[in-house]
Every structure is written in structure tokens, then in C-alpha cells.
Amino acid sequence: MTDTFTGWAATAKGEPLVQMELKLRTWDEDCVDIDITHCGICASDIYTIDEGWGPTDYPCVAGHEIVGIVTRVGKRVKKIQVGDRVGVGPECDSCRECGACKDGFENVCEKFATTTYNSKWPNGDKTYGGYANKWRGDYRWVFKVPNNMSNKDAACFFCAGITTYAPLKHGDVNEKSVVGVLGIGGLGHIAILFAKAMGATVIGMSHSDKKRDYADDLGCDGYINTEVVEDMVKYKHKLTHILCTGTGKDFEWEPYLELLHVNGKFMNVFIPGWKFPQIDPFTLIINQVSISGTAVGSPAEMQEMINFAAEREIKPWINKYKMSDINKAIADFRAGLPKFRFVLENE
């Protein structure tokens, strides 16, 4: 048994990732060891590498769309066996004692929600992510990959999947819904696929016509160029939901909330490097709409989501890179080249 792994670590802001050997967390009988086959690249990784959301504890091994094969399980581990194909998402532990945890919302634990990298395990060990060959952590945040889903596809769902599935579920999206997906990219394209699979009418939304063909290919029933007044007027009060996966710094609340039908829901999963503008309470009241946010999902929702994606044969759009080409992959990601997810593969 080895207690180390090889990872591609960020060592300072603005520097390329460096391959190095680091320590796995201290083993306990709730742990599983995973040989990583694939890991997705997420915008959250780039923000963390660049200290865009606050200080980074370097060296930092990012990556929280982890998929691989279980090689070892602790004596207290349930439902997971050596040889299983499994995945890990953005969070990897919670207190299991607070009100949120007891109510099944471990993802918003009131005491701590341990993130898969740039955080600490309860024992004080650093957390490291999936830009690596191995991962070790608590089995309660490790999820089985369905038999009919490839590891490559599964990797995309463990962050982008749950981030978009959870708000659609919480918003009771169904065949009567008309869902606008704002931002057609890594998150947005999966949101479109999920909303369609839930039976909704789906309207793609972007600030130009550049994504119109993508929206058609993904199965959208309509398209709004948010810079075109006629497009916005056409859908005024027509949408039951807007799922915001991305927008620009010129974002204003009023034009978007006016697209919502009475009692409509604006559901945000976008965390920009800038702050949303203030909102006039009158805008909420006169339109009788609500605004909500969602923090990934609970362990139960994570397994439900991956099962749903497999059952409906939802296929993300993927660009695959070798793990050893990670610095090129990140450069291409920064350049906006992915259509729409990047997945790293260990050879």
C-alpha cells in the first residue's frame, strides 16, 4: 500500500502546473482509494489556480470531476467494492450532525463542507483533486458510475451535471415548463440536455447569434439573442424558469425577470469574478418572481443525477486530452476553445 500519489499541482499564481509526488490523506476505515482514469476541467479549477476566489493553499492539485476504479475500501465502507467504477464531485465531506446534514442537504453543511481540493479534511490533512493518478477520501461522497456510461462521459457530470440538475429538480421542471438556459457553454449545454430530458420546452439564451447553431444541435425549441430587443419582447412573460449558467458584466436584472411568467423562477449557478448588480425590490414584486441559488447537490442527489443521465442516455460534448498535456489543456480552456467540456485521461 502506498500513501502518496502523483499529481499536477499549481505552485503559484500564473505558473504552469508541475508534476510532483504528494501525500494522500491519512487512511481510516471510511476511506476508499481510487485509481483515477479521467478528470474534467472546470472553471472553478481555473479560479482556484489563479486565486480568483481568494487565497489558494499551494501546492494545489485541482480537479473535482473525478472518475476511476476503486482499489481499496475501509472496513466501514458500505455499497462500494474494489473494482467499482466511481466518481467524486466538488465536495468530499460534511459534519453529518448539523440540521442541514440531517435534513439531507450535506452539500450546504452548517459546520463545514469540505471541498475536494484547496481545503482540509476534518483530521487536518489537505484535500487534493483529480489532476492526478490517485485519490483517497470518504466513501459517503463517492458515487457509482452506471454500467452504460463511459468514464469519460461520467467525469463531466460530477460537477457540471449536478450543478445544473439540482436547480432544475428543485424548480420542479417538467413537461409544462418553458426553461430559458442563459449561457450555452460547459454548464449550459448540459442544462439544456437535462431540461429536455425532463420534458421541458427549452429556449437557448446568449448575447449574440454565435451559439444559435449549437442551441439547435442540442435540441432547443427556440433561441433568444439577449442583445436583440425583438427577441426579448417575443418571450416577455413566456418563460417559467431561467437557469443562469453565465452572463456578462453588463447584466441587469430587469430585462431577464420580465421574461418570466408570473411565479417564475430565476435560478442562478453562476459565480463570476464580479458581483451581480443590486435589485430593486419593486422588480421582484411587480413580476411576482423568485431568485434562487444552488450549491452543487447532496450525495443522494448526486447519485440520482448520474443515474438519470445514464437512463436518458445524455451525452455531454467533450474534448479529451492526455493528463500529461494538462498545461496545454488549461491554455486551451482559458482561450475559450472547449465545446463544451474538457476531460483529462490518464494513460
DSSP character at residue 25: P
DSSP H or E stretch at residue 69: strand 66-73
What whole-number percentage of the chain has pLDDT above 70? 99
What whole-number percentage of the chain has pLDDT above 90? 90
pLDDT of residue 1 exceeding 70, the answer is no
pLDDT of residue 102 exceeding 70, the answer is yes
pLDDT for the residue 272 = 84
pLDDT for the residue 152 = 96
Report the DSSP pairing between strands 85-88 and 318-322.
unpaired
**Taking Cα atoms as reference points, which of 220, 216, 176 lies closest to residue 198?**
176
- The neighbouring-strand residues paired with 242 are 180, 266
Summarize pLDDT for 32-89 with one digit per residue, the tens.
Answer: 999 999 999 999 999 999 998 889 999 999 999 999 999 999 999 999 999 999 999 9
pLDDT of residue 188 exceeding 90, the answer is yes
Predicted model pTM? 0.93
Residue 151 — pLDDT band, cuts 50, 70, 90? very high
The neighbour count for residue 228, using CB atoms within 10 Å, is 13
Burial of 93 (0-12, 13-18, 19+ CB in 10 A): buried
pLDDT for the residue 97 = 94
Q: Tell me which of 79-88, 194-203, 299-308, 337-346 is least confident.
A: 337-346
Query: What domains sit in the chain, N to C, each tagged with a CATH number?
Result: 4-144+317-345 (3.90.180.10), 161-293 (3.40.50.720)
pLDDT of residue 10 exceeding 70, the answer is yes
Residue 140 — pLDDT band, cuts 50, 70, 90? very high
Average pLDDT score over residue span 114-133: 96
How many angstroms separate the Cα of 179 from the Cα of each of 11, 151, 197, 242? 41, 29, 12, 6
- Residues contacting residue 162 through CB under 8 Å, at least 6 positions apart: 89, 296, 297, 301, 302, 305
Mean pLDDT of the chain: 95
Residue 336 — pLDDT band, cuts 50, 70, 90? confident
Summarize pLDDT for 225-275 with one digit per residue, the tens.
Answer: 999 999 999 999 999 999 999 999 999 999 999 999 999 999 999 988 888
pLDDT for the residue 287 = 85
pLDDT for the residue 278 = 92
**How many degrees, rounded to 5, is the angle at CA 241 between CA 235 and CA 242?**
80
Average pLDDT score over residue span 2-6: 93
Instruction: Report yes or no: 177 and 191 within 8 Å, Cβ to Cβ.
Output: no
